[in-house]
Amino acid sequence: MSWGRKLRGEEGSALPLTLLVAVLLLVLGSSLLSAALLERNIARNQLLSTQALYVADSGIEMVLAELQYDEDWLSLFPGLEEGETVVAFAEVPIGRGTLKEVTLTDRVTTVEVLSEAEVNGITRSVKAQILKPVFEHGFAGATAGSSGGGGNELTIRANSYIEGTLVFRHNININTPQAEIHGDVVAGGNIVNKGHITGDALAGGAIINSGTIDGDQLPDADVYLPEIPEVDLDWYESRADVLFSGDQTWDIAELQEIIDNELNNRQGIIYVDGDVTIKNKGEGQEGKEEEEKEKGSDKGGKDEGEEGDKNESRTNVYRGRVMLVTSRSIEIDGDLLPDSTETSALGLVAFQDIEVGGNTKITGVFHAGRTFRTSGNAEITGTIVTDDFIVDGHLNLIYDENLVIQLQSFLPGNRFRLVSWQEFSSIL
């Protein structure tokens, strides 16, 4: 066979091979291009998802900012107090995205915030728990003394009546059917109830109920408890309008005289480096003032306004917005009442103890760095924050938000605080 015939027999054999290689290269190129485009889309979606997450987080920050700088902001949403979920913000443009909706739900000790955002069709949601200030509750305590239940248990005895939220770090034992809690009860441990709770019962442990609970019972719950703040003596002393050194004993008239004469517009901080005792006037002194009043009346002496001030002093009524702070302890032996909770408020802050004796009626904001103790039948309007709580007898406690609002600038650390943050959903 000649070489010419052999070559003519193999004509065209390279064409299929070339086409096959071309097809393989085309498929490989298409695959690489598809992979590159997929990677690009994934990276783009991840970028948009991250941006959406940041926009959702900005909703949490917006709520926190409103709570920290406007103490009345939550009052714009009356449905919160009725257990409703309310919308705080909606359809807010932020950067390249939109804050679709931010909702608020009251969780007793926290405000739950759910924030949803969208960027170019990518949606992310974030849920956060913002802890309420400790002075938002009727009573907040960490431990209970021997008369209160033995350290890790707060025991409510006798015909006690509490109006407001009761918060305790360990166990709460309401051990009498005559006890009434008109509000929520929150315990880091167990709740044992034989009384009447009109609100919710929220416990980190078990709830054993043989009484009445009108609201929800939430055992084994994630309980967020406010920290009991330390008394910051340096903060108060550096901002004090009046300073006293050594132990002081005043009746309400003497305290009011200091408020009237030493504080601008009857507002400010009185700081005492020592113990403070606030007591009722003795009968002899009151009788003497009555005699002087009659003499003044016979002589056409004092005007009606001054007589009114005297009467208020004798009935243990204070006027002004004042924080009384002591480096040691405060003892209250007698009634201590404002002329109006709308215009007057008294805060009593003790680095150590606050003791309320006898059948006393007092109104104010109370912060004891160590122990708050009541004896007899105490009637307290305001709020109590203490590390240790001892009740010897009957307790009647009614929370008054107006007092806290008036003294807000004198309560360092009484702020809303972010305690939990988590992604709620992610849609790519």
Is 19 a domain residue? no
Residue 37 lies in a domain: no
Tell me: do 127 and 68 sit in the same domain: yes
**Listed residue (401, 407, 331) closest to 371, CA to CA:** 331
212, part of any domain: no
Domain tally, the chain:
3
- Classify residue 403: in a domain, yes or no: yes
Domain annotation covers residue 364: yes
Residues 251 and 367 in one domain: yes
Same domain, 140 and 77: no
Q: Are residues 305 and 266 in the same domain?
A: no
How confident is the model at residue 41, as a pLDDT? 73
Structure tokens at 12: 């065209």
Which backbone phi and psi does 420 adopt, to 5 degrees? -150, 135
CA–CA separation, 162 vs 149, rounded Å? 17
Output the CA torsion 294→296→297→302 (10° steps).
-130
Query: Do 341 and 397 reside in the same domain of the chain?
Result: yes
Same domain, yes or no, for 302 and 349?
A: no
pLDDT in tens, 155-174: 887 778 999 999 998 999 99
pLDDT for res 140: 82
Same-domain status, 302 and 324 = no
Tally of CB atoms within 10 A around 1: 6
Let me know whether 256 and 348 are in one domain: yes
Same domain, 340 and 297: no
Residue 67 is assigned to a structural domain of this protein: yes
Q: Which residue stretches of the chain have pLDDT < 70?
A: 1-13, 33, 38, 143-151, 281-315, 425-428
The answer as to whether 38 is a domain residue is: no
Residues 341 and 394 in one domain: yes
Token pair listed for 16: 């299929």
Q: Which residues contact 274 (CB under 8 A, 6 or more apart)?
A: 244, 245, 246, 247, 248, 326, 327, 328
Q: Could you say which of 264, 297, 315 is where a domain stops? A: 315
Q: Parallel, antiparallel, or unpaired for β 122-131 and 417-427?
A: antiparallel
Q: What is the pTM of this model?
A: 0.79
Domain boundary, last residue among 264, 296, 315: 315
Same domain, 348 and 255: yes
**pLDDT tens-digit map of 275-327:** 999 987 544 344 444 444 444 444 444 444 444 444 444 458 999 999 999 99
Q: Are residues 57 and 129 in the same domain?
A: yes
Question: Is 197 a member of any domain?
Answer: no
Which domain range does residue 54 map to?
43-133+418-427
